[in-house]
Amino acid sequence: MSDPDYLTRDARGRHWFTETLHGDFRTSYELKQVLFDSATPHQRLIVADSVRFGRLVALDGVTQLTMADESAYHEMLAHVPILAHGRVEDVLIIGGGDGGMAEEVLKHNGIRRLVMVEIDAGVIDFARQHLAELHRNCFDDPRLELVIADGKDYAASAGEKFDLVIVDSTDPIGPGEVLFTREFYADCKRLLKPGGILVTQNGVPFFQAAELRNTVFNFARLFADAGCFLTVVPTYVGGFMALGWGTDDEALRAVSLGDLEQRFQAAGLDTRHYTPELHKGAFALPRFIEEIVETARREAAQRQGG
Ligand code: SAM
């Protein structure tokens, strides 16, 4: 059932997975073996062991994660908002079927409840079997409530409130497209407690500038503080990865290094990527990304008649 474009063999018999996210630019991973290659109800799921990046998960030809650097993504999208906020108890994850994000969130003892809304049960079933090194059986944590549903529908109909909403989604293609809309973001805002934070997977601005601009434009019409912070994940080729940031508490992005170090110590986190210093630096944007954010904020202000 494999798509010939994704999985190929070269003249020397070596096996390759080629990612097809960017039309004019592709990355290929040499593979040791393909563990799984099948269509789930929503997507084609490929899982393989690669020579350089370890276990690799791809959906519809787009690399979702590799074990070599997943911490650079999961730790930043989880620990930056949780330690910036300081009193997070209730969390909603939209997407995140591999379990990597939930595992990071549940490291915090202060978390009382984590609701995870994943559209594709096939991804979770698969993760349970083949990604234990990533999720460390967090699916069995009594604080975790798993909901198989479209995140868009869940956000539109849910009534409970959260301190933090994390959108750990695929890119704005296929089932993930609805998670980059104004309506969805507005519903996420409605689910936040006062001072709550919405953070989103927002791609690599070098290739996906329009995606970030769209999110910041919509966040700026919903939140007092709308922007992004950054990480770098070698698997997501193209340099900085942008993580959307939306909150009405404008002080949260400026929590002091001293307070972050204290909270980090108190949380007793053992991290491979996140540090309080890196957290502080993550909100410093290179000029070309700053321009994307400023343009989006300006356009939002003009649209609001500012
Ligand atoms: N870190 C990855 C990235 O940056 O590309 C994302 C990983 S995670 C596997 C993405 C998850 O979002 C997938 O399991 C996919 O099924 C889920 N997803 C996509 N669209 C969704 C939707 N509308 N509602 C809920 N989950 C969705």
pLDDT tens column, 122-134: 999 999 999 999 9
Average pLDDT, whole number, for the chain? Answer: 96
Task: Please give the distance, rounded to the nearest whole angstrom, from the Cα atom of residue 11 to the centre of ligand 1.
Answer: 35
Looking at the predicted structure, is the pLDDT value of residue 147 above 90?
yes
Cβ of 119 below 6 Å from ligand 1: yes
Cβ of 53 below 6 Å from ligand 1: no
| pLDDT value of position 20 | 86
| Averaged pLDDT, 28-37 | 96
| pLDDT value of position 3 | 52
Cβ of 167 below 6 Å from ligand 1: no
Cβ of 148 below 6 Å from ligand 1: no
Q: 20 with 5: CB under 8 angstroms?
A: yes
- pLDDT tens profile 257-284: 999 999 999 999 999 999 999 999 999 9
Task: Please give the distance, rounded to the nearest whole angstrom, from the Cα atom of residue 12 to the centre of ligand 1.
Answer: 35
- pLDDT tens profile 99-115: 999 999 999 999 999 99
| pLDDT value of position 304 | 83
Task: Please give the distance, rounded to the nearest whole angstrom, from the Cα atom of residue 259 to the centre of ligand 1.
Answer: 32
Looking at the predicted structure, is the pLDDT value of residue 200 above 80?
yes
| pLDDT value of position 306 | 57
Q: What whole-number distance in Å separates Cα of residue 50 and Cα of residue 11?
A: 18
| pLDDT value of position 23 | 87
- pLDDT tens profile 224-254: 999 999 999 999 999 999 999 999 999 999 9
The identity of residue 154, as a single letter, is Y
Cβ of 100 below 6 Å from ligand 1: no
Residue whose CA lies nearest to ligand 1 atom number 18? 95
Residue whose CA lies nearest to ligand 1 atom number 1? 64
Name the band, by pLDDT with cuts 50, 70 and 90, for residue 1: very low
Task: Please give the distance, rounded to the nearest whole angstrom, from the Cα atom of residue 64 to the centre of ligand 1.
Answer: 8
Say what percent of the chain tops pLDDT 90. Answer: 94
Cβ of 98 below 6 Å from ligand 1: yes
Closest by CA to 147, choosing from 183, 195, 95, is 95
Active site residues: 168
Task: Please give the distance, rounded to the nearest whole angstrom, from the Cα atom of residue 120 to the centre of ligand 1.
Answer: 8
Looking at the predicted structure, is the pLDDT value of residue 4 above 80?
no
Q: Which atom of ligand 1 is nearest to the CA of 42?
A: 16
Looking at the predicted structure, is the pLDDT value of residue 35 above 70?
yes
**pTM to 2 decimal places:** 0.97
Looking at the predicted structure, is the pLDDT value of residue 2 above 90?
no
